[in-house]
Each structure stands twice: as structure tokens, then as C-alpha cells.
Amino acid sequence: MQDLKNNTHPSDGKDTNRLDQDFRRLLSDAELTPDAELLDQIMDRLASEQPVLKQEVTEIKTQTAPDMFSKASKVRQLRKRFSYAAAIVGILVVLSIGIKELTRPDSVVITASTADSGLASTKPDKAADATAPTAVSVQGGNASKTENGLVAAKAAGLKATENLKNADRTVKAAADLQGNNRNINNNNAVATAVSPLHQASRSKQGGNPAVSAKAADLAKINPSTATSLKAGVENKALAIADANSAKTVTALKEIATSQPAKVAHGDAAATALAVNASGTAEPVISDNNRQVTGQSEHTALTDQAAVTRNNEVALTTATETDRAAERSTGKRRNRGILKGFVDKLATTAQAISEEVVSQDEDKTVINVGVFAITTYK
């Protein structure tokens, strides 16, 4: 409805335009009598409009009232409510299925950090290079998302854990062996007591707690004997220390060389672990030697050289195994100029495969939604 409250006439001359002023002056109070019939038409219209309105309202009431309370309308209302409820349930079902599809885990990702997490505390600095390619190869095998690669990666991870435990056990056995030798005589005890003591001090970062405890015990038992070391005893202690180190090295060597050609990436990691373990044993042996006597230094160095050679052999074997595993899984097909290109292609293919997998999931969700809507209809 228009605003009828303002009763003032605004046609007071504000504008300075001459034309406007003239028009306003001439037209504002002008009069022109309309046809006489117009009044009759107005009166007829006034008379006819109100009754029509009342009639219209009555007709609307008479038409809608029975329909509002009929059985058909109730059924219609119920159907409408049911349709709302069904629509809500359908949407919820679609959402739940979609969320379930999207949150479903595709694969177990074994990263480099998880593969050698148990090793990190005991490995020496020397062995760090040996573990690096192994970790990469494990991750690459997983990332390819092929079935063989996944299985191989999982098996390799499991085997790596197993071998890690074996390596720990071997180190512990070597320590026990050294500890048992102290019963031969006091001279031996000196050598064996000092060595675990050093080992305990060197494995502060999380070495074998049993070894550390044993070393601490031995250190408590033989503190004075260790200081009153005599020259005559040196040779015996040296011989026993050599024997112990030889045993330890043999045990570690067995682990390091155990089935290198048969295994995939995980075994390469295991081999690297073994190398780490032997590397841990190495300073034990050299410290032992140094503590016993300066004359035994040559022998200890020879022993150390042997251990180093063993380490090198193990490293070489691990590297070769690693490369062989990479070749078998297609990781390293080309070298040189084409290597970067092939790597890029592999990355792109991986991204595409992941995209395809996610699109498949989306399609599944959409199909389920369409099916739910069709069922509802």
C-alpha cells in the first residue's frame, strides 16, 4: 500500500530551471473536467468491489475446509512426512558409506624411520651409510603399490625386526660369553670386566640393558684387580680376549652373511643391522686390547682389521643384495642420463595411480548414493 501519511504538497518551486518553473506554474493548478460517465463508473466500481471480496473469501473457505480434514489429505501428509524421514535416512546412509569408503586404509606404509627405529640407539657412526640405501629401497617398494612390492616390503619389514632381535641376542650372547670367562682366573676377569665396562659406557644411548647391567656388576666386583694388572697375565688375558672377539666376530659374521642372495629389501636392512652389530663389537674388542697391554695392540689391530674386512664384506653383500632387489622390483632399471627421467616417470605414475584409486573411491560413493536414491524412489 502506498504511503498516504504525507499530506503536504511538495510542488513548491525549488528548481531554478526555467522550463520546469513554467510547467509547474501552468500545470499545478490547471483544471480539466473529465467526462461525466467517469463518476458513474467510479461509483459502480466502489459498489462492486467489496461484495466480490467477501464472496471470494467465502468461496476460499468452502473449498479448502473439507479438503483440509479429508482422509486423503491425512494420507498425503503422512506420505510427505515419511518422504522427509526417508530422505534424511537415505542421506545419512550415503554419508556413512562414503565416510567408511574414504577412511578405509589401503596399505601399510613402512617408512625409513620405522624400519630402522630399533637400530638407531646401538648403531655406530660407521654403519650409518650402510643403512641409508636399504631404507630407501624399502620405502620405494611400498610406494609402488604393486602387490609384489607390498608383500615384499611387509616381509622385509618383519624380517628386519626379526633380524634386529637376533642381532641383539647375539650381542648379548657375546657379552655373556665374555662375562663367563672371568671365572677362569682373576687375570681373565680383569680383561672381561673392563670390556663390558667400556661397552656400557659407550652404549649410553640405549644399548642392551642386560649387558650394561652385567658390565656394571663386573666393574663393581673387580675394580681393584683391574688396576693391579701384572705383566705376566697380559698374554693370557690377550689370548682370551682374542678368543672372545673371534667368537663374537664369527657369530656376527654368520648373521651378516646369512642368505644374502635370497632376500629382498628387508634382508638388506637385516644385513645392515648385522653390520651395525659387528661395528658395535669392534670398539669393544679394541678397547679390550688397549686396556690389557700396549704390546697386544698389534694383535688387536689385526683383529680389528679382520672385523673391518668382515664389515666391508657384509656391506658389499648388503649393497649388492639391495641393488639386486631394486632390479627385481624395477626400481633401478636405468642409470645415467635416463635415471632422472625414469624416476620422474615413476613418480608421475605413482601420483596417477593414487588419483585413480581416490577416483574409484569417489565413484563407489556416488554409485552407492545413486543406488540409495533409486531405492528410495
Partner 1 sequence: MSKANIHTLENLIEGCINNEHAAQRAMYQIFAARMYVICLRYGKTKMVAEELLQTGFVKVFKSIVHFRKEGSLEGWIRRVMVNTAIEYYRQAVKMMPTETLTESFDRAGHEQSGLDQLALEDLLALIAGLPDGYRMVFNMYAIEGFSHKEIADKLGITEGGSKSQLSRARQLLQLAIKKRQEVEYARLEK
Give residues in contact with partner 1 (CB under 8 A).
1-12, 14-15, 17-20, 22-24, 26-35, 38-39, 41-43, 45-46, 49
Largest CA distance in the chain: 152
Nearest to 181 by CA among 192, 165, 194, 173: 192
Smallest distance from partner 1 to CB 48, Å: 10
Q: Using CA atoms, how far apart are residues 358 and 364, in angstroms rounded to an integer? A: 10
Q: Residue 332 and residue 85: Cα distance in Å, rounded?
A: 58
- Please state the closest distance from residue 37 (CB atom) to partner 1, in A: 9
177: its cell numbers: 660369553
Q: Which is nearer to partner 1, 39 or 102 (CB)?
A: 39
When the beta carbons of 12 and 125 are compared against partner 1, the nearer one is: 12
Q: Residue 20 Cβ, how far from partner 1 at the closest point, in Å?
A: 4
Least distance to partner 1, CB of residue 56, Å: 16
SS3 51: helix
Residue number with CB closer to partner 1 (6 or 62): 6
Nearer to partner 1, 34 or 66 (CB): 34
- We find the least distance from the C-beta atom of residue 57 to partner 1, in angstroms, to be 17
What is the rounded CA–CA span in Å between residue 96 and residue 102?
A: 10
As to burial, measured by CB atoms within 10 angstroms (0-12 exposed, 13-18 middle, 19+ buried), residue 350 is middle
- Long-range contacts, stretch 347-350, CB < 8 angstroms, 24+ apart: 350/143, 350/144, 350/145
Shorter beta-carbon distance to partner 1: residue 2 or 62: 2
